[in-house]
Amino acid sequence: MATRILVWGENHHDVHDARTREIYPETMHGTIAGALAAQLGADARVDTATLDQPEHGLTEERLADTDVLYWWGHVQHHAVDDAIVERVHRHVLSGMGLVVLHSGHFSKIFIRLMGTTCALRWRSDRDREVVWTVDPAHPLAQGVPQPFIIDEQEMYGEFFDVPRPDELVFVSGFSGGEVFRSGMTYRRGLGRVFYFSPGDQDFPVYHHPAVQRVLANAASWAAPDRPRELPRLAMYLPGEFDVPREWTGEPQ
């Protein structure tokens, strides 16, 4: 069954910045969606949604029909409705995969899932980023050159204030001397979360074949392998010595 992918974009630079429009004439989310569709072919169904749509394009029905949600946001994080954030949060905890891109580190949904400030260092000055795989057998690294080089990119540097990741897959070095944990995974509830920092509105990073490969790998990795279910609220269990064998309702 095809993985149901939804690429969400705030669609701001895509409309208002000449530079972004030139680099991404099909918008950033459109470019990412196109790359995923090209790489995954019949294994995926790829759609897009944007901030300006009703309910930001993230209705209950839409999310229930999504296996993996990609999230791009930068200067409009504040404009995302809190109720929609709670809805996305619930779907992640219920098993929907989430791929948070670059400046999405400051999105409401990522901060909600991490519980920290998600702050980092930055400098947009055409640094070269070299991305190294530090977990070479990880599915996210399959087919990814070691290393791959992004000629021009915004620098993101440590300390990145997030919880210790479940898995650290990529680490980047920048020509300015900085380093960054650029690919990290987290399980939250029944959902898989992947943060991947390469990508920017000012540079053509989403056209980079290795970046596209990682994003395609993420679809397979983050997709749930069973029906979605919210982890149960505190559940009373009867007090007999033998554990009831009929317990079957646990999320699996």
Contact between 206 and 32 (Cβ < 8 Å): yes
Nearer to a copy of itself, 11 or 172 (CB): 172
Q: What is the DSSP letter of 165?
A: P
Size of the chain in residues? 252
Across the strands, what pairs with 168? 184
Nearer to a copy of itself, 33 or 223 (CB): 223
Q: Exposure of 75 by Cβ count < 10 A (0-12 exposed, 13-18 middle, 19+ buried)?
A: middle
Least CB distance from residue 27 to a copy of itself, whole Å? 24
Contacts of 3 (CB under 8 A, 6+ apart): 40, 43, 44, 45, 67, 68, 219, 220, 223
Q: What is the DSSP letter of 38?
A: H
Nearer to a copy of itself, 19 or 121 (CB): 121
Encoded amino acid at 68, one letter: V
Nearer to a copy of itself, 14 or 127 (CB): 127
Least CB distance from residue 154 to a copy of itself, whole Å? 10
List the structure tokens of 238: 């009867």
Least CB distance from residue 171 to a copy of itself, whole Å? 5
Contacts of 67 (CB under 8 A, 6+ apart): 3, 4, 5, 96, 97, 219, 222, 223, 224
Nearer to a copy of itself, 173 or 204 (CB): 173
Least CB distance from residue 185 to a copy of itself, whole Å? 10
Least CB distance from residue 173 to a copy of itself, whole Å? 4
Nearer to a copy of itself, 21 or 128 (CB): 128
Least CB distance from residue 245 to a copy of itself, whole Å? 6
Contact between 66 and 96 (Cβ < 8 Å): yes
